[in-house]
Structures are given as C-alpha cells and as structure tokens.
A and B are shown apart, each in its own frame.
Chain A
Amino acid sequence: MTTDPHTHDTHTGPAFPDPVPRIPLVWGPADYDSVSEQISEITEKPQPYWWWPAFLITSSLLCGGVLAATYLISTGVGVWGSNVPVAWAFDITNFVFWIGIGHAGTLISAILFLFRQKWRTSINRFSEAMTIFAVICAFIYPGIHVGRFWYVWFSIPLPNANHIWQNFRSPLLWDFFAISTYFTISFIFWYIGLLPDLGTLRDRAKSRARQMIFGFLSLGWRGSTRHWRHYEVAYLMLAGLSTPLVLSVHSVVSFDFATSLIPGWHTTIFPPYFVAGAIFGGFAMVLQCMIPARAVYKLENVVTIKHIDVMCKFILATGTLVGYAYCMELFIAWFSGNPYEWQTFKNRAFDGDYTWAYWVMMTCNLFIPQVFWIRWCRQTPWFVLIIVTFVNVGMWYERFVIIVQSLHHDFLPGSWGQFHPTWVDWLQMIGDFGLFFTFTLLFIRLLPMVAMAEVKGVLPMANPHYPFKPDAEYLKGEDGQYPTEDHAMAAAHGVPSRPSTEVKPHTEAIPAFIPTPGGSGKPWGAVAEFANGTQLLEAAKAALAAGYKHLDAWTPFYVHGMKEAIGRTRSRLPLWTLAGALTGLTTAATLQFYLMAYYYPTIVGGKEYRSWEAFVPVLFEMTILFAGFFTLFALIGLCGLPKFFHPLDSHPTFGRSTQGGFFLTIEAQDAKFSPDETRAFLESLGGKHVAVMEA
C-alpha cells in the first residue's frame, strides 16, 4: 500500500479559532438509522390522506393532455393556433420550458458535486427525478408537433427508402441527439445514485413483494467497499460527463433559434443565456415542488431553511445573469446599427403587440427575484413559494417572447401576423403539467426522495474530524454567542448525535457458524459488526496489518480511507469512461462525415461537404452518450453485479449494512484464514455479532 501523506488517517488538523462554525447540513440529532427510517417510511407507510385527491387532479389534467394530443393527431396541426408566420408557438415554447426545467436537476447532481457543495445531497435525488420527468414532458412536443407522430422515426438516424439520411447539419437533428443523450445520461446517473438506497429499501422490506422488487432493482447492492471504490469514481465520471452535457443540451436547443437569421433569434449569446435561464427556471421548479413536499413530510431537518436560502441565492444569481443577457440583446440590437434587429427589439420591448409579454418576462425574471438580496425573503418558505411561481411564469413567457414575438414581425411587413392559442393549445400545455406532477407524485410514493446514503455521508457523525463541542457550546463562536441568526436557528433543532460506540445488540445470540441455504458446507468467510466507521477503519487496518488480504468492509455510505484500509487502490474505471468517449467520438465522426460527404453528399446552407462545424454537436453528444454507457457497464461489470444472493444474507444483522451498520469480512480464500482463529481475531478487534458464514 502506498502511503500518501494526505490520507485521512494522518490528518492532524491545527486548531485555529473557529469564530463561524459551519452549520451542519442535517439539523437536529439525526443518525444513520433515523435518516434511513425518516426517508424510507415515506414510501412504506400508507399514503397520506391528500395523496389520492392530488393524484386524481394531476392525472385528470394528464388525461386532458392525452385527449388534446389524440385530437391533434387524428385531425392535424390546424387545431392549434400556430399559423404562418407564427409557425412555432405553444408547442416549442412548452418544449423549451420543460427542457429548461430539467437543468437544475443536473446542475445540483453534477456541477455542485464537482464543486463539493455537499448541501446538494438533501435535494439532488428529488431534482434529478424532476429532470427525468421534465425531459419526458418536453419529448412529447417533437413527437406530436407535426401532427403525424408515426413519422417520428424520421429523426432517428436511419435512411429512408431512397437512401437519404437525416441532415446532420440541422439543429433539429442535434436536438434529437442532445435530448436523448441527456435523458439517457440523467437516467443512468439517477439510477446509479439510487442503488444504495434501493438496497436500504430492500433490507427494510417487511413484505416479500417489496423485498423482491427492491432486491431486483438494487442489483444486490450491499455496501461493499470493493463496490464503493468503483461506485464513487463512476459517480465522479458521470458528474464530469453531465456537466458539459447540461451546458450542451440547452445550447443545442438555443441553436434551433440562433442558427437561423430571424432578428431576435440570431445572436451569439444564446447558448449560455439559455443555459443560465434553464438553471434559473429549474431551481424555481425544484423549490416549487420541494417546499410543499418538505412541509407535508416533515423534512425540515433534512431540507433545511439553509437549503432554501442557498437555492434562492442561485435563483438570484442566474436570474441576474439572464437579465444580463436580456440587456446585452437589447443593447447590441441597438449598437449593431442593424435596422431589422432593432425593429424587432423595439417592437418587443416598447411598442409591439407582445410588449406586455416582454415586461411580464422582465418583471418575473429580472426584477422580482432581486428580493432575494434580503435574507428574510430567502428564508420564509411561503414567500419563496410565491416568488418562484413568478419565476416559473416568467420563464415560460421568456420562451413565448423569444419564439412568438420574433416570428410575428420579421423582415417583410406584408407577412406580419399574430398568434392566438386555441383550446387545444391550452389543454395540451395543462396536460403536460399534469404529466409532470403525476410522475412527481408517483415518485414521492414509490422511491426515496432524498438520497439517504449521501445524506448519511454528510452527517457530523460521519466525519471523523468533526469538532464536537460540549452541547451548550454547539454552533457558538469563540465569544459564546451564535455568530449569525442561521446558527441559532440550526441549534434550535438540537445537537447532532455523536457516533455510537456500541453495536446495536441483536435480540438473540448469533451462532458461531451460520449455514447458507443450499450451502456447500465449506466456510465462505468470517464477518464482524462494528459500531461506527472509525472503528471499522481501525479494524480493517489492523486486519491488513495482521496479514489478511481478502478483506472487505460493508458500510451504508462510503467511508473515506476505507478502500486503502482494505488494501485496495483507486479504481481504474476512468479508463473505461475514456474508452467509451473515444468510441463515441469515432462513431459519430465516421457516421457524419461518411454519410454527409461521401455516401449521399448533401449541400446545406451553402456549406462545404466536409465542413466540420455543424458536426460538432452530434460529435459531442455521442461522445458523452457512449462514455456514460461504458461507465455504467464498467461499474456493473467491475462490481460483479447483479448479485442477488450472497452468503452474508443469512447473517441476522447484516441487513443493517445498508442502514446504519458497519461490517468487516475476511474471506475463506485468504491464506491466513482459519474459522476459529479468524473469528477470535475479529472479536479481539472489538467486532460484535461475529460469525463464520457457509459458502
């Protein structure tokens, strides 16, 4: 084992004054078991009384959407208000709106992860789920907006009967690649994040059905450190892939507009401006759903006021960025001296038919969020709920203004027109909200809406260096006062639990040798339970030092330094990610250049056959897509999952490894293993519930 001078066990942090202690991310005396229980119970207990009425409402709205879509498909796009010149209206507005909603989920799960913003753990699961539902909502529109949804396959890269392939230089095709990649990677990321929690639900399951379902879905995750070491790296890789992906998706959406020459659409700031707007709107939607959910499920200790406060700051920052983009557009429209550009913006902002919509957008997105400079406004949930409603409205109007206003007044006064939505437009739009909230309600019921394993990892008790002070001094500064009101508020929830020093006793004595159903009679290995991560870490190191090699530690979350303690090094999984990236890049390059320049050479927009620029979006998306798939399969392969049965399953307390238990195992294949000596050795390390398992 290499001794890196910076591993955690050699940490001897100096003690400088700490006048502003960091506020823990989970408030009150939560521990591993209470977190498991608090979150899992939401899915285990009967649904609360309001759930069915809420579900009935959202699913009725959804039915309305289905009705509208059916009517559209059976009759034709004429049932919508879209016309010439406003050929894109509610459909694409809603499409962009929903795609944008998804972006906060990825920002929280990926970008904040890369920045080690650990407060994200309380909200990332919920917002990632929202991402997936929002992308589904968005996907409906490319599917139905031409009215002939049986031609949707045209957007899949397959040739038609005349050997003509898709136009790879078209932003609409990039959209297809971007959104399907985004959906896939978000889903993979979400699912990988869910694995440990699905294991928790399985181990807590009282009914056979739940045990089977979650056992199947969790792929047999048991919290092995050999798995964690790949898992953590895979998670990092996916975060690294998702970060540029989320920037690319809304950039590609912005290309739908910005590559054309319509005044009001064609401007270079569109890509980052759309991304900022998407994150802005997405955060608003996260709060819109999270604030009520947090209140009804009493999650105030997990999703604290500080979480809401920080998200409001994000809304303020991104709202101001979006405002910056509005101002840049307006300024450059004037500064450019281009009369068409200025005509559009003058009409938009000052004297047109849609000026009211422009100022709704400006008010909701730029002006109203400025209240978040004030602390009270950020920390009062009901008030935040009102403000984020404005933001959601404003972001919808932003897309409406960009799309409808720019189209209704283009170069030729003779072709100017207006847009009037029909009842089908409205029904479709409302139906989409029905779809979104139906999915959200189902998700809350069926799956853990907070990432339990990640939250356990950020509890004060999980941090071996957490400076536990005497209870009376908790969160107080050097002068014995709370440095800020936030500190006082957090302290009012109670003092955090210290790590338990005793293993939770089992009701019955554990036999020394535990048979496995259908076992071979030979021992699989020995197992011992420890009270906390630090004890387990010490025990693992002692076992390694004693010459044992086939060690494994089983923990509810990844304990830092554990992989070194069981004698493992950093996972080589990134090489698989890199291989996937290169495969994707090569595939996309071959596909596009071959098809567009040789197989069926096509001139688009007066560009050369071989011009590379327009191929970049698909090159990028396929690189990410393949890298993501390779990461997923590498994780599953390197961990040897799925593993539905394991000798350890027969141990009476081992199920706690996904909740609050810490286990060390030494396998029989170890040269030093002997059932009696190893068991005695584990007991000498302070292990409890020690047993030898049958293979």
Chain B
Amino acid sequence: MSSASIPNDDPPLTYPAGLPDSVAPVGDALAGSVRVLVAVVLGTGLVLVVGLFANPKQFYHSYLFGYVFALDIALGALFWTMIHHVADAGWSVGLRRVFENINRAILPLAVLFIPVLIGTFTGNLHAWYNFVHAPEPTEDHLKHLWHVKHVYFSTPFFLARLAVYFAVWIGYSVAMRKWSVQQDAVGGIALTRKMQWWAPSGVALLGLTSTFFAFDILMSLQYSWFSTIFGVYFWAGGIRGSLATCVLVVLALRAAGFLRNTITMEHLHDVAKIMFGFTVFWAYIAFAQYFLIWYGNVPEETQFYLLRRNGSWYALSILLPILYFVVPFFLLLPRANKRSPFWLALISAWILVMHAYDLYWQVMPVLHQDAVHFHWLDVAAPVCMFGVVLLSAVWGFMKLPLIPIRDARLNETIGYENETP
C-alpha cells in the first residue's frame, strides 16, 4: 500500500495506533479491477454512442433509465452521509467513508446529465416539450393544463430549477467530503461539529430537490399524470439502492483483503436491518400510491397504471412488488442471512437489479406503449452509469484512508458489537 498516492501538498497522514487493519488508501492494489471497470464503462459508453445514432428515441429513454438509476443511488449515499451527522451516529463511522465515496459520483453525473437535456430539448424524451411549446390549444380541458405546464416547464424556469438541484447536491457532497478528509489530517471536534451543523439543512434540501427532480424528469414523462407521493417513492428507491451498493462495495473490499476487522459483519448486519426496513418502506409507499389511485379510479390518475397494463407490461407490473418486495423481505427476515456475506451479497445484488427494474418500469412504457421491447441499450445504459458510480467509489478508496481515521466517534465503530437479544 503506497502512501505515495496521497496528494503531495498535504502533510503525510498519520494513522491512530491500535486500528485492527491498515486503512491506508488501497493505492494500486486494486488497479487490475479498476482497469476492468474502466474498460466496462468505456465499452458500454461506446455502445451508447452507437445507440444514439442507431435509434435516438430508444437511446434517450434507455439513457434516462440508466441515468436515474445511478443518480438515485448517489443521492441515497449523500442522504446516508448526512443522516450519519444528523444522528451523531457512532457505529457507522467506518461506513460513512463508503457513502462519501459513492456520492462523489454526483460530480460526473452532473456532466452526464447533458444528454438527458438534449433528449428533452430535441423532443425525443419528454412529451411535454412539444405540448408547452405549441400554441395554446383550443379545447377547454387542455387549455387549463397548457397554462399550468406552460409556466412550469418554460425553458428558463426548468433549467434554473435543475441548476439549483445540482448546485445543492454538489455543494453538500463536496463540502461533507472535504471536511471529512480534512479531519483525517487534523482530527479534533471542530470539523465534526461543522458537519453536524450543516447536515440537517442538507437532508431537508436534498429531500426537496430530489422530489422536484423526480417530478421534473420522471413524473413528467406522462405530463398530465401526477402523484403527490412520487418524490417519496423516488427517495425510497435511492436510499435502499445506496445501501445495497454500500454492502457490495464493502464486501468486495473485504474479499480483496481490506477492512476485514474494521467493517465487520456486525456493521453489515445493521445495514441489512436498515435495508429490510426500507424494503418494507418502499412497499408501503408503492402500495399507498397504487392503492389510492386504484380505489379512486379517476382517468387522469389511472393513466399511469393503465399504461403499465398493456401487453407484456402487465406481467412486469405484477412481478414488480413480488420481486422487489416479497423476495427480499423473506430473504432478509432470517438473522442468519443478514450475517452471511454470501447471502448479503446476493440480496444486495438482487435489490440493485430490482431497483433498475423498478426504474425501467417507470421510464420505458412511455416509449413502448404496447408491450415490452427489450433493447440492448437497456443493459448498456445502467451498466455504464453504475460503473461510473463504482469508479467514483473506487477512486476515493485509492486516494483516501478507507475510514475517517480521526473521527471523534472512531471508538464506537471499531470493535462495534451488534446488540440483539
């Protein structure tokens, strides 16, 4: 493990004595895996470029699907980073660095958002673009709709909103990470208090901005449809997806020989419990949305589910709650599964795939209204985007100590024991 990979302008880090593992940056130890990951991202990226010319409409939809899959995870990781500070948590100090490294993906993802915008402004993605840029309709029932959407989706307002969302996310993500890394060098409680001071507002703003992001980018795919809970649905997926990503990253590091005694199954057991909780939470939110629309049976609301009853989409709609809720629910219920690296890896991978399934089910019926038309871009896009998330995480582990080594609560995370009766 080379300390040479630490930026030279900083004083060399000293590690506290008594850590059970070396937590120095992994440096070149994972270079092989990184090369593979880069190759995958570039390869799938190339496939995406080919797809752009081969089938633009399909490309933009697949791209959006892959994009929100990755962004949702990165935002979830930002949520967990900040909620750690809000709760003044101790047990999860080691895990915080994993989340900090994952939510770093927000930076590249901000750049990768440009194709989505191009899709929207070329009329390839969001149907409202043509609706609001057409002259006022003559039919009465559309007039009211047009006036509202015309204001909400006017280009300056739309772009300004998106700029605010990304500014908030990047701002908090960069600041939280910067202070955390600073603390690695200087220790003390001043930085802890600073992070704790900023985190609550960050969580509140993250909730608000990601809600409106979900409204603007996902809900508006069917622009005359609306659901007040849609923002919560979006969080619920990302929060769980980022937990699953965290588990996979930690298990991979452990498999490669890192952190074996630092982030133990005791920690992962607790992560698995939270994952179980959010599995139920997702089902609750998904059911609340479906159930109230089903019971009310009003056309402007049911259009969302009716579209997803066409042809083979119906089968996917029925399978969604079974695969995304029932299966992980029963897999995560036994204590033994939550403490087994094998099962935990399997369940986390399952949840991630199902998270993608959920977003696919949200995005793609808008394009293929009659039935499921699976396209190779639907694989390339999420793999590429998730690769970006993983690369950001790995990049962090190559440069930074694997845990916040001077955190005020290091005591509580090392040798942490999971108290269950």
What residues of chain A have their CB less than 8 Å away from a CB belonging to chain B?
A: 6, 8, 11-20, 22, 114, 116, 229, 232-233, 235-236, 244, 247, 251, 255, 258-261, 266-272, 320, 324-325, 328-329, 332, 334-339, 373, 477, 483, 558, 560, 570-571, 605-606, 613-614, 616
Knowing A15-B411, A235-B421, the reply to whether A335 touches B288 (Cβ < 8 A) is: no
B418 at the interface (CB under 8 A from A): yes
- Known pairs A244-B280, A269-B228, A337-B144 / 4 extra A-B pairs, C-beta < 8 Å: A14-B414, A16-B411, A483-B189, A614-B295
Instruction: Select which of A13, A14, A116, A270 is within 8 A of B292 by beta carbon.
Output: A270
Within 8 A of A (CB), among B372-421: 408-411, 414-415, 417-421
Number of chain B interface residues as a range:
35 or more
Question: CB distance B411 to A338 under 8 Å?
Answer: no
Instruction: Select which of B152, B293, B417 is within 8 A of A6 by beta carbon.
Output: B417
Question: CB distance B188 to A19 under 8 Å?
Answer: yes
Contacts of A616 in B (CB 8 A): 287, 291
The 10 closest A-B pairs by CB, nearest first: A232-B421, A269-B228, A337-B145, A268-B229, A271-B288, A259-B295, A14-B18, A336-B226, A269-B229, A337-B148
With both beta carbons as reference points, the residue of chain B lying nearest to A259 in the complex is identified as B295
Contacts of B211 in A (CB 8 A): 324, 328
With both beta carbons as reference points, the residue of chain A lying nearest to B18 in the complex is identified as A14
In the complex, how many angstroms separate the beta carbon of B155 from the nearest chain A beta carbon?
A: 17
Question: CB distance B291 to A613 under 8 Å?
Answer: yes
Chain A binder among B106-114, B249-257, B296-304 = B296-304
Within 8 A of A (CB), among B273-316: 273, 277, 280, 284-285, 287-298, 300
Contacts of B31 in A (CB 8 A): none
Contacts of B32 in A (CB 8 A): none
In the complex, how many angstroms separate the beta carbon of B280 from the nearest chain A beta carbon?
A: 6
Bound: A338/B224 CA distance, A: 10
Contacts of B418 in A (CB 8 A): 6
B231 at the interface (CB under 8 A from A): yes
Could you list 9 A-B pairs, sorted by A, with CB under 8 Å? Answer: A18-B411, A19-B189, A236-B421, A251-B284, A258-B292, A261-B298, A268-B228, A268-B288, A336-B226
Question: CB distance B300 to A259 under 8 Å?
Answer: no
Instruction: Select which of B230, B295, B420 is within 8 A of A236 by beta carbon.
Output: B420
With both beta carbons as reference points, the residue of chain B lying nearest to A316 in the complex is identified as B200
Contacts of A235 in B (CB 8 A): 421
With both beta carbons as reference points, the residue of chain B lying nearest to A275 in the complex is identified as B284
Contacts of B20 in A (CB 8 A): 14
With both beta carbons as reference points, the residue of chain B lying nearest to A323 in the complex is identified as B204
Instruction: Select which of B226, B290, B408, B421 is within 8 A of A19 by beta carbon.
Output: B408
Question: CB distance B16 to A16 under 8 Å?
Answer: yes
Q: Which of B90, B277, B298, B418: most chain A CB closer than 10 A?
A: B277
Bound: A527/B84 CA distance, A: 47
Question: CB distance A338 to B300 under 8 Å?
Answer: yes
Question: CB distance A328 to B295 under 8 Å?
Answer: no
Instruction: Select which of B227, B409, B415 is within 8 A of A14 by beta carbon.
Output: B415
Bound: A168/B187 CA distance, A: 60
With both beta carbons as reference points, the residue of chain B lying nearest to A337 in the complex is identified as B145
Bound: A451/B241 CA distance, A: 38
Bound: A260/B298 CA distance, A: 11
Instruction: Select which of A233, A269, A606 is within 8 A of B232 by beta carbon.
Output: A269
B149 at the interface (CB under 8 A from A): yes
Contacts of A233 in B (CB 8 A): 421
Bound: A325/B90 CA distance, A: 31
Question: CB distance B297 to A606 under 8 Å?
Answer: yes
Bound: A571/B409 CA distance, A: 33
Question: CB distance B18 to A558 under 8 Å?
Answer: no
With both beta carbons as reference points, the residue of chain B lying nearest to A6 in the complex is identified as B417
Instruction: Select which of A268, A320, A334, A613 is within 8 A of B227 by beta carbon.
Output: A268
Question: CB distance A259 to B292 under 8 Å?
Answer: yes
In the complex, how many angstroms separate the beta carbon of B126 from the nearest chain A beta carbon?
A: 15
Bound: A260/B297 CA distance, A: 10
Instruction: Select which of B192, B226, B266 is within 8 A of A20 by beta carbon.
Output: B192
Question: CB distance B228 to A329 under 8 Å?
Answer: yes
In the complex, how many angstroms separate the beta carbon of B14 from the nearest chain A beta carbon?
A: 13
B207 at the interface (CB under 8 A from A): yes
Contacts of A22 in B (CB 8 A): 90
Instruction: Select which of A255, A268, A271, A332 is within 8 A of B293 by beta carbon.
Output: A268
In the complex, how many angstroms separate the beta carbon of A172 from the nearest chain B beta carbon?
A: 13
In the complex, how many angstroms separate the beta carbon of A158 from the nearest chain B beta carbon?
A: 25
Question: CB distance B228 to A332 under 8 Å?
Answer: yes
B208 at the interface (CB under 8 A from A): yes
In the complex, how many angstroms separate the beta carbon of B300 from the nearest chain A beta carbon?
A: 7
Bound: A251/B284 CA distance, A: 10
Instruction: Select which of A11, A17, A266 is within 8 A of B415 by beta carbon.
Output: A11
Contacts of A8 in B (CB 8 A): 417
Within 8 A of A (CB), among B187-201: 187-189, 192, 200
Question: CB distance B144 to A339 under 8 Å?
Answer: yes
Question: CB distance A324 to B266 under 8 Å?
Answer: no
In the complex, how many angstroms separate the beta carbon of B276 from the nearest chain A beta carbon?
A: 10
With both beta carbons as reference points, the residue of chain A lying nearest to B293 in the complex is identified as A268
Contacts of A328 in B (CB 8 A): 211, 228, 231
In the complex, how many angstroms separate the beta carbon of B401 from the nearest chain A beta carbon?
A: 14
Contacts of B300 in A (CB 8 A): 336, 338
Bound: A570/B192 CA distance, A: 38
Question: CB distance B417 to A116 under 8 Å?
Answer: no
Question: CB distance B411 to A13 under 8 Å?
Answer: yes
With both beta carbons as reference points, the residue of chain A lying nearest to B291 in the complex is identified as A613
Question: CB distance B417 to A16 under 8 Å?
Answer: no
With both beta carbons as reference points, the residue of chain B lying nearest to A236 in the complex is identified as B421
Contact with A along B205-230 (1 / 0, CB 8 A): 00110010001000000001011111
With both beta carbons as reference points, the residue of chain B lying nearest to A373 in the complex is identified as B200
Contacts of B188 in A (CB 8 A): 19
Question: CB distance B296 to A16 under 8 Å?
Answer: no
